[in-house]
Amino acid sequence: MKTDYANSNCEKRVHELLAPLTGVCPDSVWESVSIDLDTKRAEAKNKWANKISNAPRLPLMVAGTILVVTISAWMFFTHKSSLPKNEMVNTTPVKHSISPAPKTDVNVVPVAQVTIPKADVQPSQVADQGSNQQQSMVAVKTEKHKKLIDSLTGKPYQPIELVKENNSPILIHTDNELVTSTDEHVNKGVAIDLNRKDTVSSMRSMVSQAQSVSAADSTQKP
């Protein structure tokens, strides 16, 4: 039987015979492959070492020097500029607006005691506007709901409230109903300019004056 393959469809036979074709790989193939793999493994190990050793040193040194100088300069200037702010904020002088009244040797009960019960003193946020203004920018909170009782008379009275707005002088006033004294000097408010240097001394003198007047009234009444 003659078979002329040029005129027949032999592609199916080709697929049957050659598709499952396998062969034995000679050792020479693995040798060449393993040499190539070893070379690549060694290259991978020496990759970073070669990069560092082959890198140009002069530009690296220059770049490193510039970097160090830049960082040190930045640290110096930022540290210097931040110091005064911290100092000003932390060292803001907190002064009591009213010093405690001086004790008198005379056995006289003061009618209007100028005290601030449990006053929370907070430093102002605007602390960098000069030392005089810093001293005047002290906010005073008073607890209005608490009523104090005079130990001698047994009558309740409200503490003196300090109100400070902007740069205007602090106004010290007392509640007319709660204070037993009938003296006009005490009932009326007294304006004090905190920007003045002699504010504390003037307040002390005024308080002592008021106490002496009230003491005189109390001795005359009985």
Instruction: Give the nearer residue to another protein in terms of CB position, either 31 or 175.
Output: 31
- Name the site residues for another protein (rule: CB under 8 A): 1-6, 10-11, 13-15, 17-26, 28-30, 32-34, 36-37, 40-41, 44
DSSP character for 189? Answer: -
Please state, in angstroms and as integers, the Cα–Cα distance from residue 194 to each residue in 117, 122, 201, following that order: 20, 17, 11
Instruction: Give the nearer residue to another protein in terms of CB position, either 25 or 152.
Output: 25
Instruction: Give the nearer residue to another protein in terms of CB position, either 19 or 49.
Output: 19
Instruction: Give the nearer residue to another protein in terms of CB position, either 6 or 152.
Output: 6
> For the range 122-130, what are the long-range contacts, defined as Cβ-Cβ under 8 Å and sequence gap of 24 or more?
123/89, 123/92, 123/94, 124/92, 127/88, 127/89, 127/92, 128/85, 128/88
* Cβ at position 24, least distance to another protein in Å: 7
Dig out the tokens for 42 from the structure.
């060694």
Instruction: Give the nearer residue to another protein in terms of CB position, either 44 or 58.
Output: 44
Instruction: Give the nearer residue to another protein in terms of CB position, either 36 or 87.
Output: 36
* Cβ at position 73, least distance to another protein in Å: 46
* Cβ at position 33, least distance to another protein in Å: 5
* Cβ at position 81, least distance to another protein in Å: 53
CA nearest neighbour of 116 among 172, 59, 32, 68? 172
Angle in degrees, CA 122, 131, 79, rounded to 5: 85
Check if the beta carbon of residue 124 is closer than 8 Å to that of residue 130: no
Check if the beta carbon of residue 138 is closer than 8 Å to that of residue 94: yes
* Cβ at position 84, least distance to another protein in Å: 58
Check if the beta carbon of residue 164 is closer than 8 Å to that of residue 138: yes
DSSP character for 170? Answer: E
* Cβ at position 53, least distance to another protein in Å: 22
